[in-house]
Structure 1
Amino acid sequence: MNKKKFVYVVSDSVGETAELMVKAVASQFTGEDIEIQNFSYVEDTKDLNNVIAVSKYSDGIIAYTIVIPSLKKYLDQKACEEGIIAIDLMSPLMTAFSQKFNKEPKGQPGLMRKLDDNYFRRVEAIEFAVKYDDGQEVQGITRADIVLIGVSRTSKTPLSMYLANKKFKVANVPLVPEIEPPEELFDIPRNRCVGLVITPDKLNEIRKERLKNLGLATQANYANLDRILEELDYAENIMKRIGCPVINVSNKAVEETADSILAILKKERSLLI
């Protein structure tokens, strides 16, 4: 029966990187009884002394991803003194980066986790925008960072997705004369809501093109100018009731409108602080 081999994964952060690398290597040694133990968030030499003591007692290997220079130096020195194999998993690549970019690393633990958190916040915001698109599930109105309102074809959905990629949770609500807007719209602070308007001629043009792409008659009520004027007038009255800022999207790209929204909301919110 093989004697159990111990590998201690040590990190001044979570240690996921080191653990994955150790597992990948361990998988190449089938038949060996290898146990991997984690020592995460080591903060001082006392933590490292514990690792050294355990490793020496079990005749184990230390594999580490430590970016704080003083801790790395201490671990290397103590491991050498105690005859323990300690493998620095990051230094070779870190050195290559430094040489290539002519720049020193930050030496700050947890930076990858921060990047991951940003990624997951963006994914969460995108999922939110999809779930609460076009007035679906009005509960999203009270949970959103930004609520966009306007008639059909005022770029509510593309704006929601663009802002979601900037990690804002966005809900959008279409305003239609025959449908009473959700009560939640009138309960949220006005500095979380933005109205989108457009000139009648531009909207008429956009809607006709939309109908054409769908293979429908461009004379449909959806693109009728009188109907468009009715919708815009209704939407304007709702926006006045809410008291929210309004942006004309007639000749604006999505990116430009998004920047305007963020600028307006920043100003509105600062006035209320």
Structure 2
Amino acid sequence: MKKKEVVYVVSDSVGETAEFVVKAVATQFNGGSVDIRRNSYVEDVEDIEDVLVLARQSNQSIIAYTIVIPQLKDYLDRRATEEGILAVDLLNPLMNAFEQKFEKPPNQQPGLMRQLDDDYFRKIEAIEFAVKYDDGRDPRGIVRSDIVLIGVSRTSKTPLSMYLAHKRYKVANVPLVPEVKPPDELFNVPRSKCVGLIISPDKLNEIRTERLKALGLTSQANYASFERILEELDYAEKIMKRVGCPVINVSNKAVEETASQILDILKSERSYT
């Protein structure tokens, strides 16, 4: 019975990249019927020797590797040649092309892809958090968040939450409405992670009027009336004073500008705690 082909995937990191490439190539041969054995976090010559011992046992084996540490790569190349084992470097040809074309040397540091992946997943987690705890839907998010934004309707709480989420901050936002009692959790969070958003009555009237028009409603609705706006702003100010949080006027600020100010404020607040 013919022995099954074996590919030893060797990496000084996780080895996912090498395994993916091997699988892609294997599908072109016998429907991908190849035994792939991953050897992750290879850190010294002893680890390489362990793989060579296994690969020597069959002439139907290949070593496919993604090793960026030069000493380990050179050692594997030399020893594989001595043992008559085919070893394929999956990174070096493209790395050399990058180096020649872009005229800059590689970092030669293992695990950088994993760091990028971790950073990506932190961002996704923060975005999902912002969606889940938007507009005060679940007060439990207040305690779990990195930043809590409070303010009346149309003070850019949601856009700010999403913008900050893309910077890996978990943000919850809570609307302040006179008829609705704020959640108790709001008064138990450290003031160093809460920010109040205020806006001028004229600007808020303008924004709310446009919002009503977009919804096909009359601009005379109570939502955009100055009397209602002043009532809401007065109520919000009282809540913010009770919380003791820093306050930002967003009247004529872009989301990016407000977000930068929020981070500056929180950084300075936390440096004193």
TM-score of the aligned structures, taking structure 1 as reference length? 0.98
For 1:51, the aligned partner's letter is V
Which position in structure 2 is the counterpart of 1:159? 160
- 1:53 matched to 2:21? The reply is no
For 1:34, the aligned partner's letter is V
Which SS does the other structure have where 2:272 is aligned? Answer: helix
Distance in 1 (CA, whole Å) between partners of 2:109 and 2:199 is 49
Provide, for residues 223-265 of structure 1, a one-character-per-residue CA deviation record: whole Å limited to 9, x for no partner.
0101100100000000000000000000000000000000000
For 2:205, the aligned partner's letter is N
Distance in 1 (CA, whole Å) between partners of 2:109 and 2:58 is 31
For 2:14, the aligned partner's letter is V
Q: Which runs of 5+ in 2 are unaligned?
A: none
Which position in structure 1 is the counterpart of 2:4? 4
Query: Are the structure 2 counterparts of residues 231 and 75 from structure 1 closer, same or farther at C-alpha, using a change threshold of 3 Å?
Result: same
Which position in structure 1 is the counterpart of 2:206? 205
For 1:52, the aligned partner's letter is L
The RMSD of aligned alpha carbons is: 0.9
Instruction: Compute the displacement of 1:25 (Å).
Output: 1.2
Q: After superposition, where does 1:121-270 map in structure 2 within 5 Å?
A: 121-270=122-271
Provide, for residues 41-92 of structure 1, a one-character-per-residue CA deviation record: whole Å limited to 9, x for no partner.
0000000010111111223210000000000000000001111100000011
Which SS does the other structure have where 2:240 is aligned? Answer: helix
Distance in 2 (CA, whole Å) between partners of 1:34 and 1:131 is 43
Which position in structure 2 is the counterpart of 1:81? 82
For 2:138, the aligned partner's letter is E
For 2:164, the aligned partner's letter is L
For 1:50, the aligned partner's letter is D
Query: Are the structure 2 counterparts of residues 184 and 31 from structure 1 closer, same or farther at C-alpha, using a change threshold of 3 Å?
Result: closer
Query: Are the structure 2 counterparts of residues 265 and 31 from structure 1 closer, same or farther at C-alpha, using a change threshold of 3 Å?
Result: closer
Greater shift after overlay, 157-166 or 19-28? 19-28
Instruction: Compute the displacement of 1:26 (Å).
Output: 1.2
Provide, for residues 133-167 of structure 1, a one-character-per-residue CA deviation record: whole Å limited to 9, x for no partner.
00001110000000000000000000000000000
Instruction: Compute the displacement of 1:209 (Å).
Output: 0.7
For 2:169, the aligned partner's letter is F
Instruction: Compute the displacement of 1:32 (Å).
Output: 7.7
Contact 2:27/2:33 (8 A) holds in 1: no
Provide, for residues 5-50 of structure 1, a one-character-per-residue CA deviation record: whole Å limited to 9, x for no partner.
2110000000011101111111111178521101000000000010
Query: Are the structure 2 counterparts of residues 16 and 32 from structure 1 closer, same or farther at C-alpha, using a change threshold of 3 Å?
Result: closer
Structure 1: which 4+ aligned runs deviate by more than 6 Å? none
Distance in 2 (CA, whole Å) between partners of 1:170 and 1:17 is 33
For 1:78, the aligned partner's letter is R
Contact 1:12/1:42 (8 A) holds in 2: yes
- 1:23 matched to 2:23? The reply is yes
For 2:52, the aligned partner's letter is I
Name the % identity: 71
For 2:101, the aligned partner's letter is K
For 2:130, the aligned partner's letter is A
Report how many aligned residue pairs link the two structures: 272
Instruction: Compute the displacement of 1:203 (Å).
Output: 0.5
Distance in 1 (CA, whole Å) between partners of 2:33 and 2:24 is 15
Contact 2:12/2:67 (8 A) holds in 1: yes
TM-score of the aligned structures, taking structure 2 as reference length? 0.98
Contact 1:177/1:231 (8 A) holds in 2: yes
Which SS does the other structure have where 2:262 is aligned? Answer: helix
Distance in 2 (CA, whole Å) between partners of 1:36 and 1:149 is 53
For 1:36, the aligned partner's letter is I
Contact 1:4/1:32 (8 A) holds in 2: no
For 1:252, the aligned partner's letter is K
Contact 2:152/2:175 (8 A) holds in 1: yes
Instruction: Compute the displacement of 1:199 (Å).
Output: 0.5
Query: Are the structure 2 counterparts of residues 33 and 223 from structure 1 closer, same or farther at C-alpha, using a change threshold of 3 Å?
Result: closer
